[in-house]
Structure 1
Amino acid sequence: MASRTKHPVLDTRALNRATLARQLLLSRAEMSARDAVGHLLGLQAQNVKPPYFQLHARLAGFRPAELAGLMESRDVVRMVTMRSTIHTHTAHDALTLRPLVQPARDREVAYFRKGLVGVDLDSLAERSRVFVEAEPRTMGEIRGELLRHWPDADPQSLSVAARCLLPLVQVTPRGVWGRSGQVRLTTVESWLGKPAAPAQPVDDVVRRYLAAFGPASVKDMQLWAGLTRLKDAFERLRPELDVFQDENGVELFDLPDAPRPDPGTPAPPRFLPEFDNLLLSHADRSRVVDPAIKGRTWTGNQAHCTLLVDGFLAGLWKMERGAEGKTEGKTEGKTEGAAVTVELFRKASAAEKEEIAAEAELLVAAMGEGGGASVRFGSIHG
């Protein structure tokens, strides 16, 4: 909703640079992986590799072993939180952010109530808890156990209810770089050996959201969290926040001491994975995505990895190990490392392509592929 009060206007480029600074994407931060996961309020993690690519784009000297070690030591975990999607969170946030979004998970169960006729949800939650805390289980095993007690219920609805009613984490080796493992689940309390914790105060989470994603509107945070009715929290905090508006008059809130770089600040190319939170955490995504290319990061129900050039979404990319590599149409032959294919949405200058190629080579080296990188500018669909 447009603001009725005139506030300083932040144009699209100013919002872009401010958001990139909060997201550690203007320059790589000298920060530990654990601190970065906490600062960013978690990393989108539907697939195993995206959290590693997200940290590589943001942290100086990051190597996959650092996050893998945190997974194995249980300092970070994978679980369903915001928007009913899997995130990698610090242990503290896993215990305290999930309760904050639990009302949304409860509403999700209500959508499946037709398949849960005759099912007592409190009993379902308790039976599921006992079952997964005895040892981590697959979702198929959980569903099978619940069907023993409620054979007439819809199997998918039982699965959704268990996933939503309990704070389930994916146990290792799932999520560990270089290893594979079936998704097995137990409760966050059992995995961390800690009791359930109260939800983080919503006002504190608003401050943290603005630190990582601001300047932002109420609707922006509601979309990020998958929650409603956050306006009251912003109003309570209004006296301590700076207030702006975008070019459409939408009111934006921010922390007074948060970075808002000059809009002319250079932004280097960055390779982001599919589902990077930068692209998913604002109701109005024009600060990063030109409306003219909205929807181009998807083909059917497949999401593509994305490329930022000058701070804005500018293309897609994919990396293949030991693939045939080409650079500007010249076949380089079989590589020992990896071939990175880049599909740009606009023409790029020779200097921009050199920067993109250098960033691709850094990506391949950091991800431990070895043997160098071959970069091809073409179509990822070809």
Structure 2
Amino acid sequence: MTTLSSRALNRALLGRQLLLGRTDHTPLEVIGRLVALQAQEPNWPYVGLWSRIHGFAHSQLTTLLQDRKVVRSGLLRSTQHLAAADDFRRLRPLLQPVLDRTARSAYFARNSAGLDTASLVATGLELLAGGTTSRKELARRLAERHPGRDGRILAGEVELRAPLVHSPATGTWGSWGTRSAVSVTPAETWLGRPMAPVTAKDLIRRYLAAFGPAGTMDVQAWSGLTRLGEIVSDMRAELRHHRDPDGRELIDLADAELPDPDTPAPVRLLPAFDNALLGHADRTRIISHEDRKRVMPGQARVRPTFLVDGHVHGSWSLEGDTLRLTPFRPLPAIDRAALEQEAERLLPFVGAENVSYNSPIAVRSS
């Protein structure tokens, strides 16, 4: 069983995430390769694709959403993602227990106490009547049916428990920091096809193609599913096995290629909630524990970052017409120049006009 260095794991992740070099694959192919793109804020998946695809333009993703080839909905870890339509049909039923678990949390349970879950979902789907309705209107109608309860929370529970997709306007490029009013439609109505669930083994293979080599806990952290150890054990004969620098077992597809650990890694600006940072329980292959505290200050926040030599070296933000770079430690002149060049290339895509460079901020471990 081969032991892989931290650098080897870093280059493997970057290669599978298309961050060692931009690709000529189509946006639909890239979204499929990455399984899904986290998309709480509609703009961020556009930046993630820009970082991975030669000449990517906003219209390419917008058209996919409008043509119903890509959808936005709750998926992995009960969070909003963009996924290819066929992948959504296959993955959402498999991941439904994760969303149901979220719907049973205290936030929802307090509001729906005493209600029959199946009846609540059936009422929600009845009110949607197979069409598109705003969350606000769905909430209002549910509150009418269930006086004394918060309709917004009821609508959120219905959206977790039933596969609903967001209207394209919700997921397309828009104003930074502003979320459009979400409208939802039953997925099978929107797509014109039924759900067609895959197995957990299929999901594990897809995960490894995008994030491997990795451990069972990594798959679980990424997907939100639990108790995958027995399934991984059953797949043992078809997988390749490695160890990480701490001796933990890693699995991978038998035919997966590993890049040379000495492969150069270009500077890349990543969006908030980028796949590359969220695909593992142990994220040290791309971000140190100290930097993770700064980039992920709370469960609901993952700041935009930039990579230098394959690792998170700082964050960036848009402030008016300025793209502001904030390194966490001093950069050599050659890396600073490469970072500024990449930021300049991003300016027209995000509608900014200039780059500002903050002084490095020290990160202290607790």
TM-score (normalised: structure 1)? 0.88
Give the superposition deviation at 1:143.
Answer: 2.0
Q: Answer whether contact 2:131 2:186 (CA < 8 A) is retained.
A: no
Match of 2:135 in 1: 139
Quick one: distance in 2 between partners of 1:380 and 1:263? 28
Quick one: distance in 2 between partners of 1:368 and 1:117? 45
Give the superposition deviation at 1:206.
Answer: 0.8
| 1:330-349 equivalence runs, <5 A | 339-349=322-332
Instruction: Tell me which amino acid in the other structure corresponds to 1:103.
Output: P
Match of 1:376 in 2: 356
Quick one: distance in 1 between partners of 2:112 and 2:170? 30
| 1:65-76 equivalence runs, <5 A | 65-76=59-70
Q: Answer whether contact 1:28 1:60 (CA < 8 A) is retained.
A: yes
Q: Does 1:316 align with 2:312?
A: no
Quick one: distance in 2 between partners of 1:157 and 1:374? 41
Instruction: Tell me which amino acid in the other structure corresponds to 1:37.
Output: I
Unpaired runs of 5+ residues, structure 2, are: 362-366
Instruction: Tell me which amino acid in the other structure corresponds to 2:356.
Output: R
| Residue number among 10, 14, 17 corresponding to 1:20 in the alignment | 14
Give the superposition deviation at 1:380.
Answer: 10
Give the superposition deviation at 1:22.
Answer: 0.4
Q: Answer whether contact 2:12 2:259 (CA < 8 A) is retained.
A: yes
Match of 1:159 in 2: 155
Instruction: Tell me which amino acid in the other structure corresponds to 1:88.
Output: L
Quick one: distance in 2 between partners of 1:293 and 1:368? 25
Match of 2:51 in 1: 57
Q: 1:282 to 1:376 in 2, by over 3 A?
A: same
| Residue number among 88, 104, 107 corresponding to 1:110 in the alignment | 104
Quick one: distance in 1 between partners of 2:285 and 2:296? 19
Give the superposition deviation at 1:181.
Answer: 4.0
Q: 1:302 to 1:122 in 2, by over 3 A?
A: closer
Q: Answer whether contact 2:40 2:81 (CA < 8 A) is retained.
A: yes
Partner secondary structure for residue 59 of structure 1: coil
Quick one: distance in 1 between partners of 2:292 and 2:172? 32
Cα displacement string for residues 180-223 of structure 1 (whole angstroms, at most 9, x for unaligned residues): 842111111111122x2231121111111000000010000001
Quick one: distance in 2 between partners of 1:83 and 1:48? 17
Instruction: Tell me which amino acid in the other structure corresponds to 2:315.
Output: L
Match of 1:335 in 2: none
Q: 1:165 to 1:56 in 2, by over 3 A?
A: same
Quick one: distance in 1 between partners of 2:247 and 2:199? 29
Give the superposition deviation at 1:158.
Answer: 1.7
Q: Answer whether contact 1:119 1:153 (CA < 8 A) is retained.
A: no
Quick one: distance in 2 between partners of 1:229 and 1:302? 26
Partner secondary structure for residue 186 of structure 1: strand
Partner secondary structure for residue 313 of structure 2: strand
Partner secondary structure for residue 65 of structure 1: helix
Q: Answer whether contact 2:315 2:326 (CA < 8 A) is retained.
A: yes
Q: Answer whether contact 2:13 2:210 (CA < 8 A) is retained.
A: yes
Q: 1:299 to 1:236 in 2, by over 3 A?
A: closer
Q: Does 1:177 align with 2:173?
A: yes
Q: Answer whether contact 1:274 1:306 (CA < 8 A) is retained.
A: yes
Deviant stretches of 4+, over 6 Å:
none
Q: Does 1:358 align with 2:357?
A: no
Cα displacement string for residues 24-49 of structure 1 (whole angstroms, at most 9, x for unaligned residues): 00011110000100110010100011
Match of 1:9 in 2: 3
- Range moving further from structure 2, 243-252 or 116-125: 116-125
- Range moving further from structure 2, 11-20 or 289-298: 289-298
Instruction: Tell me which amino acid in the other structure corresponds to 1:71.
Output: L
| 1:206-355 equivalence runs, <5 A | 206-298=204-296, 303-320=302-319, 323=321, 339-355=322-338
Quick one: distance in 2 between partners of 1:368 and 1:378? 19
Instruction: Tell me which amino acid in the other structure corresponds to 2:241.
Output: V
Give the superposition deviation at 1:298.
Answer: 4.2
Partner secondary structure for residue 222 of structure 1: helix
Unpaired runs of 5+ residues, structure 1, are: 1-6, 324-338
